[in-house]
C-alpha cells in the first residue's frame, strides 16, 4: 500500500493528472456549453417557425372578421377553427385574400387543383402547435382555447381596417419541446455525449503519452545524476532534439566533463605535489644519513647544502599554502595607491645583481603616473616570478622588453623575453599549477611550476588578467591588464 501511495507522487503521475484534469474540465465545459446553446437555439428556431406559420392564419382571421363583423362565425364553430388550423398549420397553402370564409370561392385552375390533391394524399407533418393556440377578442377575453394559458401566451394582433379586432395567442416553447422535437433533442444530446466521451478518451491517451515522454527524459537525467553522485564521471546522456531538455542534457554532459577533468587534475596535482616534496626530502635524508654514518664530515658546505634543500622545501610549502588561501578567498591583501612604473623599477633594482650575473639586457618603456589600488608586496611577487621565469628559461644573449602604457580600460603591461619559445598548445596551460614543459623550458633550476599560477591568482584578485602569447623576440609575451584608480583611465596607445 505504501509503495502504491509513493507512486502517486512521481512526476509522471502528476503530469498525467495535471494534463488530463485540465483537458477534462475543458471537455465538460464544452459539452455543457454546446448542449445548452443547442437547446436554446432549437427553442428559438421553433418559436420563430411558429410565428412564421401564424401569419397566414392571422390574415385569414382578419378577412373573416371583416366579412362577418364579429367573432361569432369562428367562436361558435369549433370545427371551422380546427379546419383553419389544419389548413394553415398542417401544410395547406393559405387562402387568397378574396377566399375568406363566407366569400364566394373562385374557380380553381387545373395546376392548383393538382397540387391541392397531392398535398391531401401526402400531407406534411404538423408543428404540434394546435393545442397551444388561443383566440382573443379586442379586450383580451378568451374566445377559443384554455383560459389558464392566456397569462403565458404571446399575443399577435389581428388588424382589420387599421384597428385591432382581436388577438391570436399561443403558448411559446420555453423549455418544453413536444413530440418529434423532443426526440430530436435527445438524439443530439446522445451525439454530444458520444463526442464528449471520445474527446475524454483522446485526452487521457494524449496525457498519458506526454507524461510518459517527459518522465522518461527526466528519468534519464536522474539516473545520470545518480551515476555522477556515485563517482562515475564518464557517464553521458544522449542529446535528442533542440528543446530545453536537449539543452539540459548538454549542460549535464558539460558538468560531467568538468568533474572528470577536475578529478584527473586533482589526481595529477596530488602526484605532482608528492613528487615535488619527495625531491628535497630525499636530498635532506641522504645528507643527514651521510652525516650520521660518518661518510661526510659536518662542514660549513654540508650545512649550507642542508639549508639550501630546507629553503627549497619551505618555499614549496609556502607556495602551496599561498595557492590554497587564494582558492579559499582567504589570501590577505593590503590595498593602497601605488605607482605601477615605480613598482616595476623597484623590483628590477632588487634583482640587479642576478640580472647582471645572467647578462640579461632589459629595455623599459614605462608611462609614468599610472596609479592603481593594489598590494605592492603581492604585485612585486608577480613581477619577481616573471623575472625568475625569464632568467631561468632564456638562452644567451638574453633580452627582456617591458612596456607599460595607459589604455581606456586601465593599465597595460607587456612583458616579452627572448628565445626559446613555447609551442602554442602549451600557452594556455602555463599558469596551471605544477605545469611544466619537458623541452627548452623544462625545470632546470629547481622550479616547481607554481610561480606562474601564483602570479595569475594575484593579478585576478586585483581585478586584472594575465595571458600568455608568442613574443616577437622569440620567447614568451605576457599581457597583463590591471584596472587603474578612479580618474586614472583615459586615452592611451597600447604597446
Binning pLDDT at 50, 70 and 90, where does residue 469 land? very high
Q: Are 170 and 33 in the same domain?
A: yes
At 93-131, the pLDDT tens digits run: 444 444 444 444 444 455 555 655 555 554 444 444 456
Asked if residue 268 belongs to a domain, the reply is yes
Mean pLDDT of 447-465: 88
Q: Are 61 and 42 in the same domain?
A: yes
Instruction: Give the model's pLDDT for residue 459.
Output: 95
Q: Which of 328, 360, 391 lies at the terminal end of a domain, its last residue?
A: 328
At 265-324, the pLDDT tens digits run: 778 777 777 777 787 788 788 888 888 888 878 788 778 878 877 887 887 888 888 888
Q: Are 356 and 455 in the same domain?
A: yes
The CATH number covering residue 348 comes to 3.30.565.10
DSSP letter at 46 equals H
DSSP run (H or E) holding 182 = helix 179-229
Q: Are 321 and 345 in the same domain?
A: no
Q: Which of 328, 356, 385 lies at the terminal end of a domain, its last residue?
A: 328
Asked if residue 186 belongs to a domain, the reply is no
CA-CA-CA-CA torsion sign (56, 58, 59, 60): positive
Asked if residue 236 belongs to a domain, the reply is no
Buried b (16+ CB within 10 A) or exposed e, 209-233: ebbeebbebbebeeebeebbeeeeb
How many alpha carbons lie under 13 Å from residue 451 in its C-beta half-sphere? 19
Instruction: Say how far residue 52 (Cα) sits from the centre of its chain.
Output: 59
Asked if residue 318 belongs to a domain, the reply is yes
The percentage of the chain sitting over the pLDDT mark of 90, rounded to a whole number, equals 24
Q: Are 474 and 345 in the same domain?
A: yes
Q: Are 322 and 406 in the same domain?
A: no
* 133-137 and 142-144 strand pairing: antiparallel
The CATH number covering residue 268 comes to 1.10.287.130
Nine cell digits for residue 460: 585576478
Q: Are 316 and 365 in the same domain?
A: no
Helix (H, G, I), strand (E, B) or coil at 259: helix
* 371-374 and 154-160 strand pairing: unpaired
How would you list the strands of the sheet with 398-407, edge to edge?
A: 360-366, 398-407, 410-418, 474-482, 465-470
Q: Are 30 and 77 in the same domain?
A: yes
Nine cell digits for residue 117: 390533391
Residue identified by cell 613598482 is: 343
Instruction: Give the model's pLDDT for residue 387.
Output: 94
* Mean pLDDT over the full length of the chain: 79
CA 400 – CA 417 distance, rounded (Å): 4
Q: Are 290 and 406 in the same domain?
A: no
Q: In total, how many domains does the chain have?
A: 3
* 398-407 and 360-366 strand pairing: parallel
Binning pLDDT at 50, 70 and 90, where does residue 181 land? low
- Give the global pTM: 0.52
Q: Which domain, by its residues, includes 257?
A: 244-328
Asked if residue 107 belongs to a domain, the reply is yes
Q: Are 313 and 370 in the same domain?
A: no
Amino acid at each position: 500500500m505504501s509503495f502504491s501511495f509513493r507512486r502517486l507522487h512521481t512526476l509522471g503521475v502528476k503530469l498525467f493528472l495535471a494534463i488530463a484534469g485540465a483537458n477534462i474540465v475543458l471537455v465538460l465545459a464544452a459539452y455543457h456549453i454546446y448542449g445548452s446553446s443547442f437547446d436554446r437555439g432549437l427553442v428559438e428556431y421553433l418559436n420563430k417557425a411558429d410565428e412564421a406559420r401564424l401569419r397566414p392564419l392571422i390574415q385569414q382571421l382578419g378577412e373573416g372578421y371583416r366579412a362577418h363583423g364579429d367573432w361569432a362565425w369562428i367562436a361558435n364553430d369549433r370545427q371551422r377553427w380546427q379546419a383553419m388550423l389544419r389548413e394553415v398549420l398542417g401544410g395547406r397553402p393559405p387562402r387568397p385574400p378574396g377566399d375568406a370564409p363566407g366569400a364566394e370561392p373562385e374557380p380553381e385552375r387545373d395546376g392548383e387543383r393538382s397540387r391541392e390533391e397531392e398535398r391531401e394524399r401526402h400531407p406534411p407533418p404538423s408543428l404540434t402547435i394546435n393545442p397551444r393556440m388561443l383566440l382573443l377578442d379586442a379586450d383580451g377575453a378568451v374566445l377559443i382555447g384554455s383560459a389558464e394559458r392566456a397569462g403565458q401566451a404571446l399575443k399577435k394582433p389581428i388588424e382589420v381596417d387599421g384597428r385591432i379586432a382581436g388577438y391570436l395567442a399561443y403558448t411559446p416553447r420555453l423549455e418544453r419541446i413536444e413530440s418529434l422535437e423532443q426526440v430530436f433533442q435527445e438524439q443530439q444530446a446522445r451525439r454530444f455525449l458520444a463526442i464528449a466521451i471520445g474527446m475524454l478518451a483522446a485526452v487521457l491517451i494524449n496525457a498519458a503519452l506526454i507524461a510518459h515522454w517527459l518522465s522518461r527524459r527526466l528519468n534519464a537525467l536522474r539516473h545520470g545524476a545518480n551515476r555522477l553522485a556515485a563517482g562515475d564521471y564518464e557517464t553521458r546522456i544522449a542529446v535528442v532534439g533542440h528543446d530545453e531538455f536537449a539543452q539540459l542534457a548538454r549542460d549535464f554532459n558539460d558538468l560531467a566533463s568538468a568533474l572528470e577533468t577536475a578529478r584527473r587534475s586533482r589526481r595529477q596535482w596530488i602526484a605532482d605535489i608528492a613528487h615535488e616534496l619527495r625531491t628535497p626530502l630525499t636530498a635532506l635524508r641522504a645528507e643527514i644519513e651521510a652525516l650520521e654514518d660518518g661518510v661526510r664530515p659536518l662542514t660549513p658546505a654540508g650545512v649550507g647544502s642542508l639549508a639550501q634543500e630546507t629553503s627549497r622545501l619551505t618555499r614549496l610549502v609556502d607556495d602551496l599554502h599561498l595557492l590554497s588561501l587564494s582558492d579559499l578567498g582567504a589570501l590577505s591583501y593590503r590595498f593602497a595607491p601605488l605607482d605601477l612604473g615605480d613598482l616595476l623599477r623597484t623590483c628590477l633594482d632588487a634583482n640587479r645583481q642576478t640580472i647582471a650575473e645572467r647578462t640579461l639586457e632589459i629595455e623599459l618603456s614605462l608611462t609614468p603616473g599610472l596609479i592603481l589600488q593594489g598590494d605592492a608586496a603581492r604585485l612585486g611577487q608577480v613581477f619577481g616570478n616573471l623575472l625568475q621565469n625569464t632568467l631561468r628559461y632564456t638562452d644567451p644573449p638574453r633580452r627582456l622588453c617591458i612596456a607599460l602604457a595607459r589604455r581606456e580600460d586601465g593599465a597595460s603591461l607587456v612583458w616579452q623575453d627572448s628565445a626559446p619559445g613555447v609551442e602554442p598548445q602549451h600557452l594556455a596551460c602555463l599558469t596551471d599549477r605544477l605545469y611544466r614543459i619537458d623541452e627548452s623550458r623544462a625545470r632546470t633550476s629547481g622550479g616547481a611550476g607554481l610561480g606562474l599560477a601564483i602570479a595569475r591568482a594575484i593579478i585576478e584578485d586585483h581585478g586584472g588578467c594575465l595571458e600568455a602569447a608568442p613574443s616577437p623576440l622569440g620567447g614568451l609575451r605576457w599581457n597583463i591588464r590591471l584596472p587603474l584608480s578612479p580618474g586614472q583611465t583615459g586615452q592611451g596607445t597600447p604597446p
